[in-house]
């Protein structure tokens, strides 16, 4: 999956709830496991676009447009974040 990650279309699993709190931080809650994860505004933007319609490359472009001073590590960081969600069972990849 890693070699084609730019063109994959990840999707949050249906049991996942994204609850946006103050200052654009959020809780990513998995109703199946009753686990919650605090995520920052950049991660919120990524999660909002994990809809099976946006490729990873498109999601990175959206982050670049929405935030100032995006680090050079954006591609690596985005890939790692989505891969971690996948490994925790929060995301799957559309085919």
E strand map for 13-84 = 16-20, 26-30, 35-39
* Percent share of the chain, pLDDT over 70: 95
On the CB side of 41, CA atoms within 13 Å amount to: 9
Q: What is the CATH number of the domain that holds 79?
A: 3.90.930.60
Give a yes or no: residue 16 inside a domain. Answer: yes
Give a yes or no: residue 95 inside a domain. Answer: no
Average pLDDT on 42-67 reads 96
Count how many domains the chain has: 1
Give a yes or no: residue 94 inside a domain. Answer: no
* Percent share of the chain, pLDDT over 90: 84
What are the counts of helices (DSSP H) followed by strands (DSSP E) for the chain? 3, 5
Give a yes or no: residue 46 inside a domain. Answer: yes
- Cα–Cα distance measured from residue 17 to residue 21, given in angstroms and rounded to the nearest whole number: 12
Give a yes or no: residue 67 inside a domain. Answer: yes
Give a yes or no: residue 93 inside a domain. Answer: no
**Is it the case that residue 12 has pLDDT exceeding 60?**
yes
Give a yes or no: residue 12 inside a domain. Answer: yes
Give a yes or no: residue 33 inside a domain. Answer: yes
Domain of residue 72: give its range.
Answer: 2-88
Tokens, residue 10: 């990840």
**In this predicted model, what pLDDT tens digit does every residue of 85-95 receive, in sequence order?**
999 999 998 76
Distances (CA, A) of 7 to 57, 64, 88: 7, 17, 21
Give the pLDDT band (50/70/90) at residue 4.
low
Give the pLDDT band (50/70/90) at residue 77.
very high
């Amino acid at each position: 999956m890693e070699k084609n990650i730019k063109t994959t279309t990840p999707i949050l699993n249906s049991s996942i709830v994204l609850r946006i709190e103050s200052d654009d931080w959020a809780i990513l809650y998995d109703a199946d496991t009753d686990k919650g994860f605090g995520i920052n505004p950049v991660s919120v933007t990524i999660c909002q676009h994990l809809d099976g319609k946006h490729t990873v490359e498109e999601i990175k472009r959206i982050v670049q447009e929405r935030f100032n001073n995006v680090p050079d590590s954006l591609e690596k960081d985005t890939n790692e974040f989505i891969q971690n969600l996948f490994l925790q069972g929060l995301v799957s990849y559309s085919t």
